[in-house]
Amino acid sequence: MMVADPAAFTEEEAASVQNSLGVLPGGMTLDLSNKYADHAGAATLGQKFYFETRYSANGKVSCATCHKPDAGFQDDRANTSMGLDQMFTGRHAPTVINAAFGSGKMDESCWHFWDGRRDSQWAQALGPPESPVEMGGTRTGVALLIYDHYRAEYEAVFGPIPELRPGGMAVAPLTAMPGAPEWDALPETAKHDINAVYVNFGKAIAAYERKIVSRNSRFDRFYAEFTAGKTDSAHLTAEEKLGLKVFVGKGRCIACHRGPAFSDWKFHNIAEPQLGPHLPEVDAGRAEGIAGAVSAEFNCMSEWSDHPDKASCTVATTSSKPGDMGAFKTPGLRDISKQAPFMHTGRLNTLAEVVDHYDQGGAQSGFVGMVDRDVQKLNLTPAEKAALVKFMLALDGEPLPPHLLTAPALPGI
C-alpha cells in the first residue's frame, strides 16, 4: 500500500508558496524621503556613525550596542534592550537585517520600531541618541562631534557643514535638545543648523543599514526550482519541506509572515503577554505608535524629508483603528536563527517556544486589545512543530561581507 508523503504539497499549498512567498528583489524599496539612501559615501560614513560611541552620555553606547552584528543585529543580552549605564528599555531591540525592504510598494512607508512610531530608517536612527535610557545624548552633541571629527567626510557627501563653532565657540551647549531650556534659548538659526547636521547623521546611518541584507538562503534556491516546476528540489530536506507545508497551511504562519522578507510589515495582536523583567505592565503597541509617527518631528511630511510630494507620504493619511491596540509589527524571518530572544518582549528564547506560543493560540491574558483572528489553537503534532522550526532555520542567508560587520577606523580615536 502506498503511504502518503507528509511533505507533499496540495495544489492550494503549492500556490501559497509560489504566490505568497518569494526571493528578495535585487534592489529594495526606494526611500523617497532620503535622497542619500543609496549613496555609497553616505553608507561608508553611516557605518562609522553606527559604531561611534562618543555621542552617548557615557561615551560607551552606539547603535551597535543594541543592534549587535554578531547577534543578528539585535540585542541578545537580556529580554529587552540594555542601553546607557545598564538601563533597560521596555522592548526587545528588533533586528536591522532586511529592515529597509518594507512592503515593496513605492508610495508606502516602511514603519520602524515595534510600534511603527517612525516612518523611515533615518527617522528611527534619530530617536536613540536622545533617549535617556538608550544613549542619553543630544542632537547638539552629535552635530558637534561630526563638526569636530567628521567634517571632511560629511562635506564630501552632504556639502558644506553649517558653522557650529563661530569664533571657536560652540553655537549651543552640549545639553541642548528639544525640551531643555538650553534649546529653547537658542536662536532659530542655531536650531536649524544643528537639526540639519543631525538629520544627515540619521540619513547616513540608514544608508549603511540598507546594506544589511540576508539573501540566497537554501529556501531561495528551493523556491527557484519549485516555481520552475521541480517539486522534488533537494535544497530542502523532507523535514524542512514538511515545515514549509505547515507554514503555508495548518500553521497559518503565512497570514502575517508573507512576501520575500517573510513579513507583511503590518501590525498584529498575537496575544503576547507582558511577562518578564524590564517590561511595562501594559503596552499599547501600534495604538500609541501611530500617534508618534504622525506627530514625529522628522517624519516623511517634515521639512527634513526629501520626498518630492509630501502629501503622498503614507503617514499623511494614516490613522488609528481599533485593531491597533496591543498590535506589533510582524518581524521578518530571514536569518531568524541569529535573533533570539524573540517577540517584542524578548520573552521566548527558542523558536520552539515561539511555535508553542502560536500552537496554543497565544496567551490567555497579560496583553491588551483584541487578538487577531488568525491567532488560534493549531493542534500541531510534535513532528509538525519540529519541522516548522527546521524550515525557519533554512531561511538563513549567505554571510554578509566581513567589512560590514566591524567598526571601521574612527577619526580622533
Are residues 67 and 110 located together in one domain of the fold?
yes
User: Is cis: bond before 308, omega within 30 of 0?
Assistant: no
232 found inside a domain:
yes
Are residues 175 and 277 located together in one domain of the fold?
no
401 found inside a domain:
no
Domain that holds residue 262: 11-27+217-393
Question: How many CB atoms are located within 10 Å of the residue 38 CB?
Answer: 17
Let me know the angle formed at the C-alpha of 209 by 405 and 389, rounded to the nearest 5 degrees. 75
Contacts of 302 (CB under 8 A, 6+ apart): 296
> 98, 104, 103, 125: which is closest to 113 by C-alpha?
125
Of the residues 187, 214, 241, the one at which a domain ends: 214
Of the residues 164, 194, 214, the one at which a domain ends: 214
pLDDT in tens, the chain (413 residues): 334 466 789 999 999 999 999 999 887 778 999 999 999 999 999 999 999 999 999 999 999 999 999 999 999 999 999 999 999 999 999 999 999 988 666 556 689 999 999 999 999 999 999 999 999 999 999 999 999 999 999 999 999 999 999 999 999 999 999 999 999 999 999 999 999 999 999 999 999 999 999 999 999 999 999 999 998 899 999 999 999 999 999 999 999 999 999 999 999 999 999 999 999 999 999 999 999 999 999 999 999 999 999 999 999 999 988 899 999 999 999 999 999 999 999 999 999 999 999 999 999 999 999 999 999 999 999 999 999 999 999 999 999 999 999 999 999 88
Are residues 238 and 279 located together in one domain of the fold?
yes
47 found inside a domain:
yes
Residue where the block lists cell 512567498: 21
Are residues 17 and 80 located together in one domain of the fold?
no
Are residues 138 and 198 located together in one domain of the fold?
yes
Are residues 321 and 287 located together in one domain of the fold?
yes
pTM of this structure? 0.96
Are residues 128 and 209 located together in one domain of the fold?
yes
Of the residues 163, 190, 214, the one at which a domain ends: 214
Burial class (CB in 10 A: 0-12, 13-18, 19+), 268: buried
Are residues 255 and 343 located together in one domain of the fold?
yes
327 found inside a domain:
yes
34 found inside a domain:
no
Q: For position 188, which CATH number holds? A: 1.10.760.10
Are residues 241 and 336 located together in one domain of the fold?
yes
Are residues 295 and 197 located together in one domain of the fold?
no
Are residues 194 and 257 located together in one domain of the fold?
no
Determine contact, residues 265/38, Cβ cutoff 8 Å: no
Q: By three-state DSSP, how is residue 290 classified? A: helix
- If one counts the domains in the chain, the total is 2
* Helix 139-149 vs helix 151-158: crossing angle, to nearest 10: 100
Are residues 123 and 161 located together in one domain of the fold?
yes
